[in-house]
Amino acid sequence: MQVEDTRNYRVAEVAEHFNVSVSTIYRVIESGQLDALRLGTAVRVPGWAVRAYTDACYDAAGTTVKAPTVPAGKEGALTPRQADGLACTQHDTDDAPAEVAR
């Protein structure tokens, strides 16, 4: 999916984009790592938020698993956990993952 910054996406579309479950996207939203809009009972994710979350994951990525596709101008790799879309982590010098703060 090509992400448009000005478009709002359904949670299912975002889950399909990252190839993860809808419940994984809801967990990422609830954790505060992915911004979302609540319109009554509907939840929408702005395109700019999808892009910002993707960039945060690349910025925090380790070097253990190469990303399947790397956006233009980005180099890096994903850890297995990041490849599963469960969390964005960064590796400290002792190689222990630490959650990305927002």
Domain boundaries, the chain: 8-99
Q: In the prediction, which pLDDT does 64 show?
A: 38
Q: In the prediction, which pLDDT does 88 show?
A: 59
pLDDT tens-digit profile, the chain (102 residues)? 889 999 999 999 999 999 999 999 999 999 999 999 999 999 999 999 999 998 888 888 763 344 445 454 444 444 444 444 545 544 443 444 444 444
Go through the chain and tell me how many residues it has: 102
pTM of the model: 0.61
Read out DSSP for 56-74?
Answer: HHHHH--SSEE-SS--TT-
Amino acid at 30: E
